[in-house]
Amino acid sequence: MKILLPYTLSLIFFIQIIFGQNLENYQDEKLNKEKVSKSKIFKKHMTQIMPAYIFFGQYAFLYGVTLGGDAIISGKTPEWANTIWLITPLLGGFLIKEGTKESRKELYDSKTYDDESTFFYTIYYLGPDISSINNFEAKGEDGKWTANVLKANTAINYPAMGFRTGFYTKSLGLDFEMSLSAHHSKEQTAFYNFTGEIYNEQYGRYVELPTSMEIDLPSHFLMLHSLYTGLNVFYSLPKFGFTPYIGIGAGMLYNSVQSQYPGPANLVQEENSLALDDMSFNWGGHGFLGFRYSKSDSFYYFELRPTFHHFNYNSGNGKLSEIDRFTLESLQFQFGIGTSLFK
């Protein structure tokens, strides 16, 4: 797959250029001849421009994860690998935005009418967090053992970065969101609970496991990257200078799990190699309490977000192959700037 990725990316960028050029012609002639509602233009924005971000964003994320993994294989530090991972999808997002620039300008320069009580916006934000891996469960593929860790501490490589686009009225709001997040496990002592017996490669046979034990985990034992795509709905509370609001959101996760260690059942580090390199889809959700300060064509906001991201992947090899799953729980402190789509 890695051999084909450069060719795939080249094809994607080529299609993206064509997509950006052809997208300029998608507006109905009505948009240039008569006034239309802002809601109708926003629907066109969501159905004809946002798919470019959803489709090409996943490929940019995949390519970034691959480049980051290659950096580790070549002997670079996890910090350097994470920087490469971050730059690649951000560059992809920039190219998508530039490719649809003229189309968006033509669309939102159209003559409009609408109730001014509805505000259509785009947000760019950062979201540092406090996080941990909770309810880690591992199960041997041979069915002979299971293990559980209630909690393992994690840290962010970079604050979550993303954008949201949607609308709000005096009471209700809805928006679409895409974001990147990156975490790694800290150096720590983890407490495992075991049942069953596991294969011991040194003795060449299965051995019983103690019911509980401590394992010293190195920093970056697990490196986690996610691309989130989802929807948020929120309700505005009475104003007092700021506008407080509460809401919930959920969506799809494109998860990457990488490690230089095969898995919890095998803690022997493989130098200049990725013993674990798995990608899978899952889902995530969050609630939030926010505060918005509005101006005529923009606003600033801050949100507290309890967040739950689910991971499920395969690790290990041979008779030590296992199926792992856990929930990455975090309290995110999200802040950003929103601007009107029609300014």
Q: How many CB atoms lie within 10 A of CB 157?
A: 20
Q: Note whether 300 and 125 are within 8 A (CB).
A: no
Question: What 3-state DSSP class applies to 118?
Answer: coil
The CA distance from 38 to 42, in Å, is: 6
CA quadruple 159, 160, 164, 168: dihedral positive or negative?
negative
Same domain, 85 and 149: no
Question: What 3-state DSSP class applies to 19?
Answer: helix
Same domain, 68 and 108: yes
**Residue 24: which residues within 8 A CB-CB, separation 6 or more?**
102, 103, 106
Q: Note whether 137 and 148 are within 8 A (CB).
A: yes
pLDDT at residue 289, rounded to an integer? 98
Same domain, 170 and 259: yes
CA angle 320, 326, 327 (to 5 degrees): 165
Same domain, 104 and 236: no
Same domain, 265 and 231: yes
Same domain, 32 and 136: no
The CA distance from 84 to 56, in Å, is: 18
User: Which CATH number characterizes residue 238's domain?
Assistant: 2.40.160.20
C-alpha dihedral, 15 to 17 to 20 to 21, nearest 10°? -110
Same domain, 36 and 163: no
Q: Read off the amino acid at residue 280.
A: S
Question: What 3-state DSSP class applies to 33?
Answer: helix
Q: Which of 97, 114, 131 is at the close of a domain? A: 114
pLDDT tens for each residue of 19-54: 444 444 444 444 445 677 888 888 888 888 898 899
Same domain, 37 and 82: yes
pLDDT at residue 268, rounded to an integer? 56
- Average per-residue pLDDT for the chain: 85
Single pTM value for the model: 0.86
Task: Give the domain extent around 53.
Answer: 1-114
Same domain, 143 and 248: yes
Same domain, 147 and 36: no
Q: β-strands 322-340, 298-315: how paired?
A: antiparallel
C-alpha dihedral, 53 to 58 to 61 to 65, nearest 10°? 180
Same domain, 180 and 262: yes
Domain count, the chain: 2
Q: Which of 114, 132, 167 is at the close of a domain? A: 114
Same domain, 95 and 145: no
Q: β-strands 129-140, 119-127: how paired?
A: unpaired
The CA distance from 86 to 94, in Å, is: 13
Residue 323 CA to its chain's centroid (Å): 22
Q: Which of 89, 114, 139 is at the close of a domain? A: 114
Alpha carbon distances (Å) from 190 to 147, 204, 208: 12, 26, 20
| Helical H segments across the chain, by residue range | 5-23, 30-33, 38-48, 50-73, 78-99, 101-108
pLDDT tens for each residue of 236-258: 999 888 999 999 999 999 999 99
pLDDT at residue 264, rounded to an integer? 60
Q: Note whether 340 and 143 are within 8 A (CB).
A: no
pLDDT at residue 199, rounded to an integer? 82
- Tens-of-pLDDT digits for all 343 residues of the chain? 444 444 444 444 444 444 444 444 444 444 445 677 888 888 888 888 898 899 899 999 999 999 999 999 898 888 899 999 999 999 999 998 888 888 777 777 766 666 678 999 999 999 999 999 999 999 988 888 888 999 999 999 999 999 999 999 999 999 999 999 999 999 999 888 888 888 877 778 888 878 888 888 888 899 999 999 999 999 999 988 899 999 999 999 999 999 887 766 565 555 667 888 999 999 999 999 999 999 989 999 999 999 999 999 988 777 788 899 999 999 999 999 999 988 7
